[in-house]
Amino acid sequence: MIARVIVDIRNGDVDKIFDYIVPDGMDLHAGDRVLVPFGKRDTEGYCIAISDDSQVAASRLKPVKTRLDPFTCVNPDMLALMDFMRRKFYLRYADCLRLFVPPQMRGGKVGELKRLYVELVPGSDEKIADIPTRAKRRLELVARLKRGGDYLSVLAEEFGAATVNALVDAGIAVKTERAVYRKPYAEMQEGAKRVTPTDDQKRAVESIFATDKTVSLLFGVTGSGKTEVYMEAIERTLAEGKKAIMLVPEISLTPQTLRNFRARFGEKVALMHSGLGVGERYDEWKRALTGEADIVIGARSAVFAPLDNVGLIVLDEEHDGSYVSESNPRYDTAEVAEFRVRQTGGKLVLGSATPSIDSFEAAQEGRYNLIVMDRRISGRGMPPIEIVDMSKELLAGNADIFSRRLMQEMDGALSRGEQVMLFLNRRGHSSFAMCRNCGYVPKCENCDVALSYHSVEKALVCHYCGARYKMITRCPKCGSDNIKMGKIGTQRVVSELQKMHPGTKILRLDAESTTTKDAYLDILGAFKAREAQILVGTQMIAKGHDFPDVTLVGILDADLGLYHSDFRSAERTFQLVTQVAGRAGRADKEGKVLLQTFSPSHYVYRFASHYDYPGFFAKENNTRKVTGFPPYSTIVRVLFSSEIEEKAIACTKSVYLGLKAYAAEHRDDFFVLRAMVAPVAKIERHYRYQIVMRVTKQSEDAVFGCIHKLLDEYRTRGVSVFAQLDPQNMM
């Protein structure tokens, strides 16, 4: 018997299957991890198939050394998924397998699966009394252990391994091996009470299973009770003996969902996301693999949960950009999910209050089953959105961050003891130029997207075709020379607020102020507990949290998202405004939203302020059709990066010329094909070049095939290459 093995090595150039002999008596299956001789060393690998014969002469084959685990890591469905992802996303075997198996499994760390647990030795009070008072760390550790033991790894991180060992050596504490599953966020299970589904919810669940379509798009306004629909559908799936995956954009930011699921499904739920500790991650993965858990809930990587017979996958907030992995390995969660459920005859549910244009178009075309829930459970309407024209503020002599309307409303809310959220847009890293007088923004003549200002060259650049324009100093529309770039920071907003409202407590939440999920939850917790009146933050505060006392939401710089150099900027801004508005007036108090803009008549704001998604969709979809952007085309981007610039250029050039020759024979398939420096020209000492093309939907697979062939031919050592379909964020 021959084992076909993928060797798990870092070298990006090796993506081959190697054959090994399966020694007599070794019980080896496809999907098992193995140890095999490779070059001079033994290396870990994955057996992806067992076959009867090999192309290689038997005399040259070496035997598999060991089967590493007593169980199969990668089930047959996942092996099929690996093949799909290789083709679809141009990934290497090893890249896919790394997504499927938690990091702790690799590198021979499996022996540590039993973890060392540290606790106090009973009756060691005398020895504790002997600890000198200057040994602060040791005393702190003792105090901690008196409240209960913990894992060595946790304690060592907190107190230092030397401190732990000192207590063990003194006979005060003892280390024992424990193989227990720890439950992430164990505190989150109480609360959530069962509700009786409404007719809308029942109808939605029926529709998911009654349709002959694999994918359902659940278009339900904020507060329409989508979570209950997901849970009912999952319950039904489990009742049929199948399993389910529930995906949310950022699990650590939505503890509410987890709480609901724990309350309803208890131990059957496993949680998978990258914020967990390595040990926790392994435990949850293992519970899913062994069938102990049959629901996996998590952020995008949970789509690779090692479940068999997946009958249902849910993507909540399906429009969220985080479902597309933009760094290696790159993949699109929705496509992976659809492939998985198609294999098993299951269902995929995409849920959103503001579906992506692509998904809604797919529903209009009839590729997806459309389910609409347009009533809120509470029976209330959405809070009114008032548009504030910031150029009028300028004319009136107010060049501040805050409009007079906003200041007035803030004063009112604060004096009534209510809370205020102020929202700053942060998307991407590039800035655009804008006339502060009339709101004019320079756009690319070829692509109709806002140009990005590159400060180094002092030029305006289009990220889709590479066209360069001179920076404008005078507005071509109104003649004003009040052209501005750049963004306002949360810090500045806070300090200005503090000046205006000296006695008011203000909290700030952005990527810089919160590096850990705990810090994030702490700040939100403090705000919810009314320890502050104002919360200033970036889109991080837009996610689904309930703050019953927030009655005013201010969007300070809505335009920043609107003119981000991205054809999806209108869509993203619409989504954001709707989501942020959902934070105002959640409970029994009336809420209000003030949206500050220099382009008050822009269609995005017109539709968003009326919560008119269908109207927005019709307009935006038509624009895409006319300009030939997705869903009416596919954007393909091939990114080359290398520490040696010449290498990156040479490789880009060869592939570009090959593609040009191909395009000459398939003229009708291509709208655009360009090679250029990547928007971010250098990251971590790597020079970056890209080929960007826009092709017809029908030709997508053929073009991708051609790219793969060219890459196989021209890819050189020292250059890493990624090919992406419809990149979310071109940097």
The residue among 45, 39, 41, 3 whose CA lies nearest residue 21 is: 3
Find the binder of ligand ADP among 163, 224, 539, 551 (CB under 6 A).
224
Window 302-331: residues binding ligand ADP (CB under 6 A): none
Q: Write the DSSP assignment of 630-691 as a string of letters.
A: TTSSEEEEEEEEESSHHHHHHHHHHHHHHHHHHHHH-GGGEEEEEEEEEEEEEETTEEEEEE
Q: How far is the CB of 598 from Zn ion (least distance, A)?
A: 9
Tokens, residue 201: 């919810």
Sheet holding 459-461, edge to edge: 452-454, 459-461, 468-470
Binding partner at 437 among Zn ion, ligand ADP, none, C-beta below 5 to 8 Å by kind: Zn ion
Q: What are the beta bridge partners of residue 63?
A: 21
Question: Which residue lies nearer to Zn ion by CB, 263 or 471?
Answer: 471
Site size toward Zn ion, by CB under 5 A: 15
Among 102, 184, 220, 275, the residue binding ligand ADP under the rule CB under 6 A is 220
Coil, helix or strand for 124? Answer: coil
Q: Which stretch binds ligand ADP (CB under 6 A): 66-74, 215-223, 473-481, 563-571?
A: 215-223
Where does this chain touch Zn ion (CB under 5 A) — which range of 184-192, 214-222, 401-409, 446-454? 446-454
Least spacing, CB of residue 459 vs Zn ion, in Å:
13
Reference 588, options 622, 558, 546; nearest CA is 546
Pick between residue 222 and residue 490 the one whose CB is nearest to ligand ADP. 222
Q: What is the Cα–Cα distance from 614 to 630, expressed in whole angstroms?
A: 18
Whose Cβ is closer to Zn ion: residue 47's or residue 560's? 560
Q: Which residues 455-494 are close enough to bind Zn ion by CB under 5 A?
A: 462, 464-465, 467, 475, 477-478, 480
Handedness of CA 59, 62, 67, 73 (dihedral sign): negative
Where b means 16+ CB within 10 Å and e means fewer, 383-401 reads bbbebbbbbebbeeeeeeb
Sheet holding 347-352, edge to edge: 269-272, 295-298, 243-247, 310-316, 347-352, 215-220, 369-373
683 binds Zn ion (CB under 5 A): no
Cβ-based neighbours of 279, under 8 Å, separated by 6 or more: 104, 115, 151, 153, 182
Residue 195 interacting partner from ligand ADP, Zn ion, none (CB closer than 5 to 8 Å by kind): ligand ADP
- Choose the stretch contacting ligand ADP; rule: CB under 6 A; options: 220-228, 242-250, 444-452, 522-530: 220-228
Is 207 a residue that touches ligand ADP (CB under 6 A)?
no
213 neighbors 348 (Cβ within 8 angstroms): no
Q: Which of 55, 59, 133, 196 binds ligand ADP (CB under 6 A)?
A: 196
3-state secondary structure of 336: helix
Give me the phi and psi of 129, to 5 degrees please.
Answer: -60, -25
- Give the CA radius of gyration of the chain: 28
Nearer to ligand ADP, 377 or 526 (CB): 377
Minimal CA–CA distance to 73: which of 107, 111, 108, 47?
47
Q: Which of 104, 222, 356, 575 binds ligand ADP (CB under 6 A)?
A: 222
Tokens of 118: 């540290």
Question: Of 213 and 583, which CB lies nearer to ligand ADP in the complex structure?
Answer: 583
Determine the residue type at 433: A
Choices 38-46, 172-180, 192-200, 321-329 (CB under 6 A): range interacting with ligand ADP:
192-200
The DSSP code for 431 is: B
Q: Is 254 in the site for ligand ADP (CB under 6 A)?
A: no
When the beta carbons of 320 and 566 are compared against Zn ion, the nearer one is 566
Using the minimum distance from each CB to ligand ADP, give the nearer residue, 224 or 538: 224
Tell whether the torsion through CA atoms of 305, 309, 315 and 320 is positive or negative.
Answer: positive
Distance in angstroms (rounded) separating the CA atoms of residues 384 and 249 = 27
Total of residues contacting ligand ADP (CB under 6 A): 14
Q: How far is the CB of 28 from ligand ADP (least distance, A)?
A: 46
Tokens 């606790």 found at: 119
Half-sphere exposure of 641 (CA within 13 A, CB side): 19
- Give the nearest distance from C-beta 224 to ligand ADP in angstroms: 4
Supply the minimum distance, in Å, between the C-beta of residue 582 and ligand ADP: 7
Of the two residues 204 and 337, which places its CB atom closer to ligand ADP in the complex? Answer: 204
Would you say 226 or 236 has its CB closer to ligand ADP? 226
Question: Binders of ligand ADP among 369-398, rule CB under 6 A?
Answer: 377
Among ligand ADP, Zn ion, none, partner that 222 touches (CB below 5 to 8 angstroms by kind): ligand ADP
Q: Pick from Zn ion, ligand ADP, none: which does 446 bind, CB < 5 to 8 A by kind?
A: Zn ion
CB of 574 to Zn ion, least distance (A): 22
String of contacts with Zn ion for each residue 385-424, x by CB under 5 A? ----------------------------------------
Beta strands in 383-491 (DSSP E): 385-389, 419-423, 434-435, 452-454, 459-461, 468-470, 483-484
Buried b (16+ CB within 10 A) or exposed e, 439-466: bbbbbbeebebbbbbbeeeeebbbbbbb
Whole-number minimum distance, CB 593 to ligand ADP, in Å? 16
- Under the criterion CB under 6 A, does residue 17 sit at the interface with ligand ADP? no
Query: Helices in 373-477 by DSSP H: which ranges?
Result: 390-395, 404-415
Of these, 213, 226, 236, 602, which contacts ligand ADP (CB under 6 A)? 226
Maximum distance among all Cα pairs of the chain, rounded to whole angstroms: 88
- Kindly state whether residue 628 participates in binding ligand ADP, applying the rule CB under 6 A: no
Our finding on whether 333 is near ligand ADP (CB under 6 A) is no
Quote the least distance from Cβ 584 to ligand ADP, whole Å: 14
228 binds, among Zn ion, ligand ADP, none (CB under 5 to 8 A by kind): ligand ADP
| Residues of the shown chain interacting with ligand ADP in the complex, contacts defined by CB under 6 A | 195-198, 201, 220, 222-228, 377
| Residues of the shown chain interacting with Zn ion in the complex, contacts defined by CB under 5 A | 435, 437-438, 440, 444, 446-447, 462, 464-465, 467, 475, 477-478, 480
